[in-house]
Amino acid sequence: MTEYFEPKIEHIERDGWGYKNLDKLDLTEEEIIETFDENHKRYKSMIKEILEDYPLATNSDFILQIEFLRLLGFCTVTHSKENFVFKIPRNMIKFIPNPECSSRVRRSLNAKGVGLATNHSVLVKRSRNQKAITKYFATK
């Protein structure tokens, strides 16, 4: 199992309506590329592990994202008979990866044949969406 990720935590002040100091740190282009490369490699191995261990995650990006956040240590999941509760500490909100990150990694793994959807209707929907998007960008 992949080790939990420990982010650097800064003090986040809460004003009356939202959060202050939620903007990203000012990074140079080289630092951005280096950070992206490190995160991409770590996220790719984690997403691959999730897709192998949790078959439901192959059919739903929402489940994939929740399991991804749980594995990163950002989210705890509790449940009762009727519902699930996802808890994310306020001081971790700034560090949560964009959901597009996990779905992008899933798509790149799917393109290599890893973690393909097991539900036929999901496969059909993804194929139809891919064709429509390809057609859209071919005309632009």
pLDDT, tens digit, for every residue of 79-131? 877 888 888 888 888 888 888 888 888 888 988 988 888 888 888 888 898 89
Contact indicator for 28, 22 with CB cutoff of 8 Å: no
| Residue 55 located in a structural domain | yes
Give the whole-number percent of the chain exceeding pLDDT 70: 81
Least confident among 9-13, 18-22, 65-69: 18-22
Q: What's the number of domains the chain is made of?
A: 1
Q: State which residues form the domain around 93.
A: 29-138
Q: In this structure, how many other beta carbons lie within 10 angstroms of the beta carbon of residue 44? A: 16
Please state the rounded mean pLDDT for residues 56-83: 88
Other CB atoms closer than 10 Å to residue 65's CB: what's the count?
Answer: 23
What's residue 19's pLDDT?
Answer: 47
Give the per-residue pLDDT at 22.
47
Q: pLDDT at residue 13 above 60?
A: no
Token pair for 60: 């739903």
Residue 34 lies in a domain: yes
DSSP assignment, residue 79? E
Among residues of the chain, what percentage have pLDDT more than 90?
Answer: 14
| pLDDT reported for residue 140 | 73
Residue 96 lies in a domain: yes
Rounded to an integer, the average pLDDT of 23-28 is 60
What confidence category does residue 17 fall into, taking pLDDT thresholds of 50, 70 and 90? very low
Any domain includes 13: no
Question: Does any domain span residue 121?
Answer: yes
- CB count in 10 Å sphere of residue 103: 16
- Residue-level pLDDT at 48: 93
Contacts of 17 (CB under 8 A, 6+ apart): none
Residue 125 domain-assigned (yes or no): yes
Residue 82 located in a structural domain: yes
Q: pTM of the entire structure?
A: 0.66
